[in-house]
Amino acid sequence: MSITVLYFASLREQMGRADDHIEAGTATTVSEVWSRISEGVEMPANILCSINKEYVDAGHSVKDGDEVAFFPPVTGG
């Protein structure tokens, strides 16, 4: 199961990279993806998550081929 993970803004800088491509187990969730890519760092409460460019909660399930993104609070406009 192959998943693309994207990071934006300050989180991208903290991660030191813009994306990851991971092979997850069969069934997984956004928070499990976070655990995989963060090497045990807890997900900050204000981090937002999306799957395939739609907002989701951290508990949302992730399927093969999904694009998962993590980013800080938005500051446009």
Partner 1 sequence: MIQLRESRFDPWLELQAYQDSLAIKGKYGATAVFVGSMRDFNEGDEVRAMTLEHYPGMTEQYLDKIVHEAVQKWPLLDSLVIHRVGDILPDDSIVLVAVWCAHRASAFDASRYIMEELKSNAPFWKKETLTEGTRWVEKNTPS
Q: Read out DSSP for 52-72?
A: TTEEE-TT-EE-TT-EEEEEP
Whether the CB-CB separation of 30 and 58 falls below 8 Å is answered with yes
2 or 10: CB nearest partner 1: 10
- Piece of 7-15, 23-31, 36-44, 57-65 that binds partner 1 (CB under 8 A): 7-15
* Segment holding 9, helix H or strand E: helix 9-15
40 or 76: CB nearest partner 1: 76
Smallest gap, in angstroms, from Cβ of residue 56 to partner 1?
Answer: 12
**Binding footprint of partner 1 on the chain (CB under 8 A):** 6, 8-10, 50, 53-55, 69, 71-77
